[in-house]
């Protein structure tokens, strides 16, 4: 069965510092992996996704993630944090069965950015 584990429910960084949010997955088939961001009182917005091909995926707002099969990881990074990056981030894996897909989410990591 597919599952996702996000290490660290809260991460705090200084403005301008590297952002690293960790995600490990479990999947019995080659996974499709996603990162979503959720700002307060809002829905989820797709940051980036990995399906096939290049393992380093670039997304919006300067974020990127690297799929590492050997480590079953899909960590999210950004070289320099902005105050506007403060939000909750969710990693998700696709469960595809019966001809359709659905997302299985991790518990989320809340990112705080301080001056």
* Binding residues vs another protein (CB under 8 A): 4, 9, 32, 36, 41-46, 49, 51-52, 90, 92, 94-96, 98-108
CA distance 17 to 9: 19
Q: Closest distance between another protein and the C-beta of residue 78, in Å?
A: 20
Q: Closest distance between another protein and the C-beta of residue 29, in Å?
A: 9
Closer of 51 and 80 to another protein (Cβ): 51
The two structure tokens encoding residue 81: 């944090």
Q: Closest distance between another protein and the C-beta of residue 22, in Å?
A: 15
3-state SS class at 1: coil
CA distance 106 to 84: 22
């Amino acid at each position: 069965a597919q599952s996702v584990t996000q290490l660290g429910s809260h991460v705090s960084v200084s403005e301008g510092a590297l952002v690293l949010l960790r995600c490990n997955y479990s999947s019995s088939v080659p996974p499709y992996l996603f990162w979503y961001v959720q700002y307060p009182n809002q829905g989820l917005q797709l940051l980036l996704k990995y399906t096939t091909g290049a393992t380093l995926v670039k997304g919006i707002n300067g974020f990127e993630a690297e799929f590492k099969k050997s480590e079953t990881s899909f960590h999210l990074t950004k070289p320099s944090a902005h105050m506007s990056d403060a939000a909750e981030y969710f990693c998700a894996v696709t469960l595809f069965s019966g001809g359709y897909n659905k997302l299985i989410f991790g518990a989320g990591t809340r990112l705080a950015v301080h001056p």
